[in-house]
Amino acid sequence: MNEITLIKPDDWHLHFRDGLMLNETVKATARCFARAIVMPNLVPPVTTGEMVAAYRDRIMAARPEGSSFEPLMTLYLTDKTTADDIKAAKKAGAVAAKMYPAGATTNSDAGVNSLDSLFPVFEALAENGMLLLIHGEVTEKHIDIFDREKEFIDRHLVRIVEKVPSLKVIFEHITTKDAADFVMSAREGVAATVTPQHLMMNRNDILDGGIKPHNYCLPVLKRSTHQEALRNAVASGSNRFFLGTDSAPHARHKKENACGCAGCYSAWSALELYTQVFEELNALDKLEGFASLHGPDFYGLPRNTETVTLVKEDWQVPDSIILPDGDPIVPFYANQTVRWKLK
Cα 295–Cα 299–Cα 301 angle in degrees, nearest 5:
90
Q: Has 168 been labeled as part of a binding site?
A: no
The response to whether 41 counts as a known ligand-binding position is yes
The SS3 call for residue 267 is: coil
Closest CA to 54 of 26, 27, 75: 75
| H-helix or E-strand spanning residue 192 | strand 190-194
Residue 17 marked in a binding site: yes
Flag whether 98 is marked binding: yes
Residue 246 appears among annotated catalytic residues = yes
Q: How far is CA 189 from CA 91, 175, 182, 192, 275, in A?
A: 23, 20, 13, 10, 26
| 15 annotated as ligand-binding | yes
User: Binding site annotation covers 13?
Assistant: yes
> Which residue among 147, 246, 285, 314 is the active-site one?
246
Please report which helix (H) or strand (E) contains residue 288, including its range: helix 284-288
202 is in an annotated binding site: no
Residue pair 291/309 in contact (Cβ under 8 Å)? The answer is no
- 198 annotated to a ligand binding site: no
| DSSP-assigned states of every residue in 54-99 | HHHHHHHHTSPTT---EEE-EEE--TT--HHHHHHHHHTT--EEEE
226 in a labelled binding site: no
Nearest to 18 by CA among 332, 254, 249, 173: 249
With b meaning 16 or more CB within 10 Å and e meaning fewer, what string describes 195-226?
Answer: bbbbbbbbbebbeeeeeebbbbbbbbbbeeeb
Reply yes or no: is the peptide bond before residue 219 cis, omega within 30 of 0.
yes
Residue 218 is labelled as binding a ligand? yes
DSSP string across 231-248? HHHHHTT-TTEEE---B-
Please report, in range form, the residues annotated as the binding site for Zn(2+). Answer: 13, 15, 98, 135, 173, 246
Please report, in range form, the residues annotated as the binding site. Answer: 13, 15-17, 41, 98, 135, 173, 218, 246, 250, 262
Please report, in range form, the residues annotated as the binding site for substrate. Answer: 15-17, 41, 135, 218, 250, 262
Residues labelled as active-site residues: 246
